[in-house]
Amino acid sequence: MRFKKKKDIFFETMENMADKIVQAADYFAENVADFKDVNVFATQMKKYESECDEFTHIIIIELNKTFITPIDRDDILALTSSLDDVIDGLEATASRFYMYNLDAPDEYIVQFAEILRQSAYVIQKAIHLLSQKKLLAIREYTIRLNDLENQGDDLLRICIKNLFATVSDPIELIKKKEIYERLEQTTDTCEDVANMLESIIMSNS
């Protein structure tokens, strides 16, 4: 009888984080495309964020009691932190929809949500490859994350230009501008994951 090798706790937990980021990004994109109840939306996003915090806590506990780790312990901590930042960005944006009583997200928010959904799936694939120690194969996905972040930069320029051209209410302008910028910052956190993965590839190849 063959026994399946037990997966490393660090890789397994990071896989769980990446899977949770996909769930959150899917939910985020689906809801901003068809907005119904902003309170339910913000509450669910907070739940996803709290679940990812639990995974981060597991990794910190394990790092404190594990002598030998599969990759450098600082790299594990930095990658975990960058994954957590992605879901923090999604949740922070959702909470502002609630605080600002935003009930009709516009086309730019929908486009940002789709960029972030795609980024989440790319992160998931890269983290699962890391668990399999297929380091060089990860590079395809880090390049894709950089490309998606560039799309976020371009979209921010377009939507801010349009915002100042079409919105005269200063309060509405401030609210929308912050939401656009938070969404773009979240694409930056996805690129941070890519940069951390590149560092791990260089250190372990």
Hey, how many other C-beta atoms are within 10 angstroms of the C-beta on 124?
A: 20
57-70 tens-digit pLDDT: 999 999 998 888 88
10-43 tens-digit pLDDT: 999 999 999 999 999 999 999 998 878 889 999 9
Residue 4 pLDDT > 80, yes or no? no
pTM: 0.93
141-182 tens-digit pLDDT: 999 999 999 999 999 999 999 999 999 999 999 999 999 999
Residue 51 pLDDT > 50, yes or no? yes
